[in-house]
Amino acid sequence: MGERDGGPYYVIERETGGGVGPFLLGALVGAGVALLFAPRSGEETQRDIKERAIKIRDAAEERIREAQDQIEERLELARAELLERVDAVRDAVDSGREAAHEAREELEEKLERSKAAYRAGVEAAKDAAETPAVEGEAEG
């Protein structure tokens, strides 16, 4: 490109997405220009306007149907993804509960074994404490 005032200048172009609004505006402008330049009778012009209006309406309805179909399709995909995620979370929660239950059972078993070992140790200590005293009395 060229330079202006000794420095470069930039052109920024925007891409428009289109849609029903610009389509309808273009159709109406086109219909208006056609009416201005077409030498017809009033009856012919009215019939032509009516036909074009019907075509524009039909085209707009078709675009709206297409947009609705796309939205419904996207919603269905999003719903399916959401249900998959809900199922995955539910499975994870169930697995966590099962793991916690198993860990609790294992801990309770270890605790019972520890208690039994403690009791056995206490009993053995009592027996050991009583046994030498009995033998010492018998010898003396």
Look at residue 1 in the predicted model and tell me its pLDDT. Answer: 47
Q: What is the DSSP letter of 6?
A: T
90-110 mean pLDDT: 94
Q: Give 12-77 as a 3 state SS string.
A: CCCCCCCCHHHHHHHHHHHHHHHHHHCCCCHHHHHHHHHHHHHHHHHHHHHHHHHHHHHHHHHHHH
Task: For residue 10, give the 3-state DSSP assignment.
Answer: coil
Position 40 scores a pLDDT of: 66
Model's pTM, two decimal places? Answer: 0.43
Over the stretch 103-130, which tens digit does the pLDDT of each residue have? 999 999 999 999 999 999 889 888 888 8
Task: Provide the residue type at 56 as one letter.
Answer: I
User: Domain boundaries in the chain?
Assistant: 20-139
